[in-house]
Structure 1
Amino acid sequence: MSFFHSTVSRRDFMKNLGIAGAGIGAAAAAAPAFTDMADVISKAQSIHPKNPWYVKEREYLNPTTEIDWNKMERFEGGPYDPVKCLSTADYQKIMAEMGANRKNFILNNAPGKTLRDFALNMSAAAYPNAVIWGPYVKHARVKGYFLGEQGSVFTPQMLGVPRWEGTPEDNARMMRSVFQHFGAAEVSFGEIIEGKTKKLINLSTTDWGPNMRIMFEDVDKAYVVDDGKDLATGKMVIPNRCKSVIVFKIRQSQEMTKKGNSYIARSGSNKAYDQLAITNYRVKAFLNGIGYEAMSGGTFGITCARPGWGALFGMGELARSMQMIAPTEGPVMRATAIMVTDLPLPVTNPIDAGTNKFCHSCFKCADICPSGAIYKEPNPDFIQCPTNHSGGVPGYVAEKLKPETFNNSPGYKRWPLNHFACRSYWTVNSASDNWCIGACVFNKMDEATIHPLIKMTVGASPVFNGFFTNMDIAFGYDHQPEDKWEDWWNEEHKVVPMPFTNY
């Protein structure tokens, strides 16, 4: 991007677009000039932390805390918890007192010590017994994968207190906070509807294979039946009474997304998958802790991957690339997942931010896709992906490819994605499946004032859509060239604040 040095003000930019009306014009006038992006991205990472200008550097081994190394001695490690050093009788006494106080706090709704406060504390320290996503899922127990690590938290019944009760709206605000605390970028709420959204729940789990069935039954509690083997057979049962669905999205690194065909880019994707597992088991532990059930899976575990639930319930819109584009961070999401629960929740409505309409005239993702997997016709349709496609990989021809294998249902209008072409290309080439995400015009955060202004314009009218695509290309918003990928190791990386990641 070194070719681009902008001194154009936002006022002039918007004025050239002819849209400097009252609202947009005022916003453009208040904004400063563009930063020189070439200078910004050329700053390499120092071996020293970046500190404010007034911070002084001291001599080696000479901190502001005086140290007498002659008097310093090695510490004798031992029990960290002093309470555990007590006699058995004294230990039991103090633990009983702690339990009585905890119950009293919860029953009296003491500030910061209510049931949901205690459940949040427990679920933050809940650990799964095994990895629960992707290629390693066969090493996990199906029960823990589907229901969470039950037994790792106290339930209200174990504490001798009633479960948490709140209005659907209060519960929604609570769960949005919990999900964001545990790593989800955003949350919306849906419901399982017979004859409609229930059809979005898989018949079997992709993570475990076709012999592990997903079923609905008239039972009080969810349960799992499996043979305990790697190729599991059995069923995962969702109670019919569990109607609420929490939709959440897991973000991936934006900077890594632009590293093209590299392991660095795949690292950003894999970290997001890991985040999905962490968010899943911690939130399920929280819901157990306040007295409710929760069922979920991995990226493909119990529902179609990514966009469906999010597009239905206000998370974003379906894109040409079969990703979901959200108003805030565009398509920079590794997963849009769901969790089924019996916690009463409201539903959120779908949105129109102009992004689906934008895809009608923008072909940037399709043009950059190295496997030719993205549909290039202007308008979406009720069609499936091709049944035979090499994916640009010599010798890899899916002679018996079945569109239904990849959930290419003809039940909704979209630009079909050839999943085989996509997957075969990035598998054989050890590539990252980030090409379309990295190229998308909406792959922008709102840190620069101009980006939300453009999103606002797109949402109001499609008249400038083609222009914005061309500007995106001209500004160099694309994958970085291959000779720049290794620069990641020497660049300064901003720690993304919550709620986009939690570790």
Structure 2
Amino acid sequence: MKSLGLVGAGIASSTAITPKVFDLDELAASGEIRKYPWFVKEIGFKNPTVEVDWKLLKSYDSNNVYKFTTEETEQMVQNQLNTMKKGVANNTPGMTLRDFAVLEGLRTTMLSVPLTRDEPSFNYTTTAPSKPAGYTRKDLGWPKWELNPEENLRTLASAIHLFGGRDISAIEVDEDVKKIFFSNASNKAIRFEDIDAPIETASSISIPNKCKWMVVFTIPQSRLSGFSHVTTGKYGVYGGYSDAAVMMTRIQGFIRAMGWLAVNKGGGTGSQIASNTGFGVVAGNGELGRCDYVLSPKYGALIRLTEFFLTDMPLSPTPPIDAGMWRFCQTCKKCGSMCPSSAISLENEPTWEPSGPWNGTGRKCYPINYKLCLPWRGMPGHGAEAGTGGCSQCQVACVFTKLNDSSIHDVIKGTVATTGIFDSFFRTMDDAFGYGKGFTSPINEIFFSPEQWWNRDLDKFPFKGRVVGDGWE
């Protein structure tokens, strides 16, 4: 280990791998916007570990996503319903009525977030009879909240952390970054224009050119996704999208109240105007993985979104990161070998060539065959093969999807970030310990049945509820 420089870097010191905890006041007052483990390196702007050709990169037309015929979709839905009926009738663990009821509870807040919102009104403890709608910032004669770009980002990071976002990052939106936006979404052309506020019509979405900064933050996904192929496993996905809707609604209100724009379209229905994965990689929330998801140094592949929004508030950008994960993916292949649809490439080398029109251009990666993947995802209209739980197998199986409460995982991640000579050994040991086969609890137990989750010791589980990172601090 000494020869690798790892002991000096801090593996032998508990203080080097113990995360420092900030309260909100400390975070706002410090230079620490996002705190990664010691082994994560920041690298050049717009130069992530996955190779990107910004000249070759083009805005993706989301109408090219693979579409099933009406007949195929109807058949998959009926297959899902039959699976649901059998699960309830047979009292199958993870597919009982109470399991479906929790899923419906989570879905109630999977709401679409508008492109933007008006500035909110301020009220004291009650509304004034003379002005029941309350008083806006302009009514009160208050100027915009504005500091320097670094302090602006610290202010946003403090609030977004409270609202539930993690690893808050920022990038400047130049002509290259604009290519990460879709050219077309839901038959609406997406364009940037010299306007004061975003405009959405029946045929287009126009974004102000003055929104030159993008804020990106991570929404962790519950490890309940480990119960793949039963309804319990879908709690992580639907819960993540529900979190996104609540967070973005809060964020838009917060930023608009300070006098700035916050532009986002989607929230609980997923990103509708751009690739959240692309922004997550470029902003430094993680690295691209073989599974074509963002891999986080903290959460691995088990994040629902690297959610984002545009703003005209000047911000200090954060660079991409290198934790050795993209390099590891090129030899690991665990997600690909465990993919039930064979949608994830098992090739040794990444490629510039897409697997179909559903892939974008300009990235040297492992393109996903979404024609094979989508039926297993369990999203509305899909998932007949996977059952009502969907799949999420690649996220759960990922070697980096581990709890950092176990110090050995930080040691391994630090080694991976420093050298690739142990990569094959770590993949083998990951298999030997049974990771990726069930739900790994916050106290490092592996549950193989959803019934164990229903009967868990509530005092020992540090879940703090939804919309606060699921207790994964």
Question: TM-score with structure 1 length normalisation?
Answer: 0.65
Q: Distance in 2 between matches of 1:472 and 1:360?
A: 16
- Aligned partner of 1:245: which letter? M
Quote the offset at 1:18 in angstroms. 9.5
Quote the offset at 1:135 in angstroms. 11
Quote the offset at 1:151 in angstroms. 4.3
Answering whether residue 277 of structure 2 is matched by residue 307 of structure 1, we say: yes
Residue number in structure 2 paired with 1:119: none
Q: Is the 8 A contact 1:384 1:416 kept in 2?
A: yes
Q: Distance in 2 between matches of 1:18 and 1:292?
A: 48
Answering whether residue 255 of structure 2 is matched by residue 279 of structure 1, we say: no
Q: Distance in 2 between matches of 1:23 and 1:200?
A: 36
1:261–1:172 CA distance, 2 compared to 1 (3 A): same
Residue number in structure 1 paired with 2:463: 496
Residue number in structure 1 paired with 2:52: none
Quote the offset at 1:458 in angstroms. 0.7
Residue number in structure 2 paired with 1:416: 367
Partner-residue secondary structure (3-state), 2:450: helix
1:22–1:360 CA distance, 2 compared to 1 (3 A): same
Alignment RMSD (CA, Å): 3.1
- Counterpart of 1:338 (choices 308, 325, 332) is 308
- Aligned partner of 2:455: which letter? N
Answering whether residue 320 of structure 2 is matched by residue 350 of structure 1, we say: yes
Q: Is the 8 A contact 1:185 1:501 kept in 2?
A: no
Q: Distance in 1 between matches of 2:108 and 2:213?
A: 29
Quote the offset at 1:222 in angstroms. 2.0
Q: Distance in 2 between matches of 1:291 and 1:163?
A: 5
- Aligned partner of 2:405: which letter? E
Alignment of 1:1-20 (within 5 A): none
Residue number in structure 1 paired with 2:390: 432
Q: Is the 8 A contact 2:168 2:217 kept in 1?
A: yes
Q: Is the 8 A contact 2:182 2:273 kept in 1?
A: yes
Q: Distance in 2 between matches of 1:484 and 1:357?
A: 34
Q: Distance in 2 between matches of 1:163 and 1:19?
A: 48
Number of residue equivalences? 353
Residue number in structure 1 paired with 2:146: 165
- Counterpart of 1:468 (choices 415, 418, 426) is 426
Q: Distance in 1 between matches of 2:434 and 2:370?
A: 28
Residue number in structure 2 paired with 1:485: 450
Higher relative contact order (CA 8 A, sep 6+): 2
Q: Is the 8 A contact 1:292 1:341 kept in 2?
A: yes
Q: Distance in 1 between matches of 2:308 and 2:370?
A: 21
The alignment-based identity, stated in percent, is 32
Gaps of 5+ in 1: 1-13, 32-111, 113-132, 226-232, 386-402
1:23–1:163 CA distance, 2 compared to 1 (3 A): closer
Q: Is the 8 A contact 2:107 2:238 kept in 1?
A: no
With 455-464 and 215-224 compared, the bigger mean Cα shift is at 215-224
Residue number in structure 2 paired with 1:393: none
Q: Is the 8 A contact 2:115 2:198 kept in 1?
A: no
Q: Distance in 2 between matches of 1:234 and 1:23?
A: 54
Q: Is the 8 A contact 1:425 1:431 kept in 2?
A: no
Q: Distance in 2 between matches of 1:351 and 1:241?
A: 27
Residue number in structure 2 paired with 1:191: 172
Answering whether residue 207 of structure 2 is matched by residue 249 of structure 1, we say: no
Partner-residue secondary structure (3-state), 1:175: helix
Q: Distance in 1 between matches of 2:109 and 2:156?
A: 28
Q: Distance in 2 between matches of 1:273 and 1:258?
A: 17
- Counterpart of 1:238 (choices 207, 211, 234) is 207
Partner-residue secondary structure (3-state), 1:188: strand
Q: Is the 8 A contact 1:221 1:239 kept in 2?
A: yes
Instruction: Report Cα offsets for 1:421-449 as digits up to 9, x if no partner.
Output: 11112311323231001111100121111
Answering whether residue 193 of structure 2 is matched by residue 217 of structure 1, we say: yes
